[in-house]
Structure 1
Amino acid sequence: MAPANLLKQLTAQLITPTNFQPYGQVISASTDGKAYDCTDAQLVLHNGIPRFYIMRLHQRGRKFYTITRHLKCTQCLGSLAGKEWLLAVAPPTSATQPELDQIAAFRIPGDRFIKLEVGTWHAGPYFDHEFIDFYNLELSDTNINDHDTYNFLQHANLEWEIV
């Protein structure tokens, strides 16, 4: 008989520019005409054709056992219609897997978006609504040629749950 999967819980903290800094940026509304500065999304999109689109995701619970990173570009995500959502992340590493003790979860209000640094491990978005439409900015082939995934279940018999 195979051993039962270990379930680790992550408490989602409210995202702020400071606590999200190891993973990327939090972008909030600014006044029209504000000059470009470090509070704007610092994008890396020169390794291909940028793709900006709206993706509809359906509710799928808060458990995950895979985490992904993109090594060629930054990625921006935000929900439409002001809906709150959740994301698990780990900082970029040169290793082929994230550092387990560095995995964190964030609660992201619907009035801001995030930019993930190149190489940031991420799982989600997760949410409690039936569905949410998200805008997504990445490269046109990110999900084909730049999708490095680590499977916790396969390598560590581990599953995560955001609470």
Structure 2
Amino acid sequence: MTAENSVQQLLTEWVTPENFRRYGQVIFASEDGKSYDVDDAQLNLQNGTPRFYIMRLHQKGRKFHKITRHAQCTQCLGALEGKDWLIAVAPPNHKTDHPAVEDIAAFHIPGNCFIKLEMGTWHAGPYFEHDTVDFYNLELHDTNIVDHFTHDFLKSHQLEFELKV
């Protein structure tokens, strides 16, 4: 990082269905046999073959300068083993090639739920303090090849973000 670059700190807040609604859904456990309703993940995976897999991530710190979106599907992320984690998000905006800096929010996700990102939601992460976390991920089989739009704030704004808990 050069002297003209700056780091903007994003204060994380614990995720709730209400404060995350702009970006997607928070899904908590429900009793077996419950009927499908609006509290279940409202998925859009119709544009390809769904891929459900477990990805292993190693601690990357809390700083980032790139943010990504997927315009063709929803995406679900959740940590295994009850581990908490962090994510930065910005609401879907298909009219621009990057989110506004002031629209980026950061959330602390407990290990007893998962999040569903709406189509087009910008996201950076997962980030965490643990050495390694396994995440389950539901998206399309080719999402990271044909539906992976990334913006680099370091190049455009000389800006890097740091998540603060």
Q: What is the letter of the counterpart of residue 102 of structure 2? A: D
How far, CA to CA, are the matches of 2:112 and 2:3 in structure 1?
43
Structure 2 counterpart of 1:85: 85
Structure 2 counterpart of 1:6: 6
* Deviations 1:101-147 (CA, angstroms, capped at 9, x unpaired): 11000000000000000000000000000000000000000000000
Q: Which 4+ stretches in 1 moved above 3 angstroms?
A: none
**Structure 2 length normalisation: TM-score?**
0.97
- The answer to whether structure 1 residue 156 and structure 2 residue 157 are counterparts is yes
How far off its partner does 1:3 sit?
4.1
- The answer to whether structure 1 residue 21 and structure 2 residue 21 are counterparts is yes
Aligned residues: 162
How far, CA to CA, are the matches of 1:109 and 1:5 in structure 2?
32
**Structure 1 length normalisation: TM-score?**
0.98
- The answer to whether structure 1 residue 32 and structure 2 residue 32 are counterparts is yes
Structure 1 counterpart of 2:101: 100
Q: What is the letter of the counterpart of residue 39 of structure 1? A: D
Q: Percentage identity across aligned positions? A: 63
Structure 2 counterpart of 1:134: 135
1:18 is paired with a residue of what secondary structure?
A: helix
- Coordinate RMSD, CA, aligned: 0.7
Q: What is the letter of the counterpart of residue 154 of structure 1? A: K
* Deviations 1:52-107 (CA, angstroms, capped at 9, x unpaired): 00000000100000000000000000000000000000000021110111100000
- Where structure 2 has 5 or more consecutive residues not aligned to the other structure, the ranges are none
How far, CA to CA, are the matches of 1:4 and 1:112 in structure 2?
39
Q: What is the letter of the counterpart of residue 148 of structure 1? A: F
How far off its partner does 1:25 sit?
0.1
Q: What is the letter of the counterpart of residue 159 of structure 2? A: L
How far off its partner does 1:4 sit?
2.5
